[in-house]
Structure formats: structure tokens, C-alpha cells
Amino acid sequence: MRMTRQRKVLLEIINQAASPLSAEEIMLQAHQQDPSLALSTVYRNLEKMLELGLCQQIRFQDGLARFEQAGLVHHHHLVCTACGRREAVPICPLHQIQQQLEAASGYKITYHEINLYGLCPDCLKKQVSEQTGHP
Amino acid sequence: MRMTRQRKVLLEIINQAASPLSAEEIMLQAHQQDPSLALSTVYRNLEKMLELGLCQQIRFQDGLARFEQAGLVHHHHLVCTACGRREAVPICPLHQIQQQLEAASGYKITYHEINLYGLCPDCLKKQVSEQTGHP
DNA sequence: TTCTAAATGCAAATCACTTGCAACTAGAAA
DNA sequence: TTTCTAGTTGCAAGTGATTTGCATTTAGAA
């Protein structure tokens, strides 16, 4: 893979990100360093990085493709349904039962994803104060 | 909800389906009974049915919205990455640790999804026979 | 430095999904 | 039963995300 100016920017953004980013979010961040970087370049590079195992794709309920750095510790995602905040959950309850699932289904399972949805601590607080009237 | 001819057809398809169907798959099946049923009608009704809790939406890696009957036992999905076959998995390892996750994250978790990907028994067999040359 | 395959930016295309609108219809009211 | 009307439909056009074609640029091997 030729290390172009654009690729350096994109790789850095993905590797620094605290949570999965959409192609557009990545482009917006990239524009701070290189305003001419095209959205199609973002998509083409994300595709290549997926092939090379440099990043991973995730989809939450909204159906948007989001991308995060590969090579992180195995984890899953927690999404706040009120503010959209997304964070990693390092706990995985599947490893222990994967063999059991394979035996029961006859599948050879190669990977899995778990997405959890709910209210983050902040939105939870807001919701409570709205109900009681005590901020 | 007015029980139109189209709605009867759509509800029947979703309630009979063995696995989650995309809007287009639903329309194709519906056309066997009513070839004039429009795709926009499918989408509009799926949306209404989601609101009323008559069906559920799921997204796998391809990002397509798929729909299945609501009111089924809590379950997750297993997708064959070779042939696309999708099936329900009635096992859920999350219930036991949901409280633990809530305590660790501070979130109030309302919903979750687990998707497992791998090779189904048939595709597993095919893959083996391709490698050995013995069908 | 030269050369070329790979990569880029731009514009147009595609795909899943949504929306505007005029015509139709379920089902409540007369 | 007929009338009426808000809810629903089909069609066509519109979105928004993602992909593709193409002429131009460029990384990095020779």
C-alpha cells in the first residue's frame, strides 16, 4: 500500500479515535489537515484498510457504516439511544459459550458482534431531573 | 390501523418467515399475491409495524434493514458468510451479565443485539470437499 | 531523474430508503 | 345500504450513503 499524504491522515484519525467513526466524520476531521481530501478517497481507503485488516467496520441500529482501528482488545459496543455516545465494552460473554453454540448449530463461527443500547449516565440523569423537576 | 389488502399480505409474510427479510424480499414474496404492491407501501407499513411493536428490525454486516415478526422468544442471529443463510439462536449469554455491565458502565441498558457469523454446515462441507478434492 | 501502476479529486451513478401527491378505500356515521 | 373522509396506496421524484468512471497526479521502484 503506497503511503500517500491522504492515507497518513486517515490512518492517524482512525488510530486516535475514541469510538467508531463514520466516513463523513472521518472526512470532516481529515479536512482540518487536508481540506481537499475527497469523500471517495475516504471510502476507497477504508475499503482497502478493511481488506488489509487495518480497521474494522461496525453498524449500529442506524445502519451507518462506522470504522474503528483493528488490533484493539476484543470488545463490543454500548450506544446511548439519547445522545448517540458510543463506547467500547471490554467484556465478552460469548467466548465461554461459542463451542456450545457451534455444537448446537453445526456452524463454524468466525466472528461475532454485540451491541448494547441504553441511556448513558448523563442522559439518565437528565431524564430523572426532567421527571422530578429537580435539576 | 386500517386492515388493507396490502397489510394482510405483508403481515402474513412476516409472520410466516423463517428468518429476517429485507424490504425487497418482502415485496417479492408479496407480489405472488398482489403484483401491484409498491415498495414504498412495504416500507411505510414496516415503519408503522415497528411503531406498533408488530415487528422488529435487524441489521447484519451488509447494512441492509431486515425485519422479523415481534413477539418471538428472545433470540439472536447466526449468519452464514458464504451463502447468506440466517437463523435464530435462542441462546443469550447477556442476561446473566447485564447487571454487571450496567454497574461497570453506569448505563441503563434497554436493548441489545448479538450477531454471529460463520459457515453453515452445508458451506462447511463444501469448503472441505473443495480442499480435499473429494466431494 | 524517469517511469508507471496505484491513488486521487471530481462528477455522475447506484442503491436503499423516503416523500409528495393525486387517486383509492376501509370502515365509521348517517 | 350509501355516504363520507381520514388513512392508505401507487407512482414518480427526492435523499443520503456509498460506489464508480475517468482524467490527472504521485509514490516509490528502477
The 10s digit of each residue's pLDDT in B63-80 is 999 999 999 999 999 999
Rounded distance in angstroms from the CA atom of residue A95 to the C1' atom of nucleotide C16: 34
Has this prediction a pTM greater than 0.85?
A: yes
Distance to chain A for B26, nearest Cα, Å: 19
Express each pLDDT in B8-47 by its tens digit.
Answer: 999 999 999 999 999 999 999 999 999 999 999 999 999 9
CB–CB contact A80 B112 (8 Å): no
Nearest CB partner across the interface for B121, out of A57, A61, A107: A107
Q: How far is A33 from chain B (nearest CA, A)?
A: 30
Q: Which residue has the higher pLDDT, B127 or B14?
A: B14
pLDDT of the residue at A111 = 94
Among candidates A78, A107, A112 on the partner chain, residue whose Cβ is nearest the Cβ of B105? A78
Contacts of B125 (CB under 8 A, 6+ apart): none
Report the C-alpha gap between B16 and B53 in whole angstroms.
Answer: 17
User: Which sign, positive or negative, has the C-alpha torsion B50, B56, B59, B64?
Assistant: negative
Ordered structural domains, chain B, with CATH: 1-71 (1.10.10.10), 73-135 (3.30.1490.190)
Please report which helix (H) or strand (E) contains residue B124, including its range: helix B121-132
CB pair distance less than 8 Å for A112 and B108? no
Query: Helix H segments across chain A?
Result: 5-16, 23-31, 39-51, 95-105, 121-132
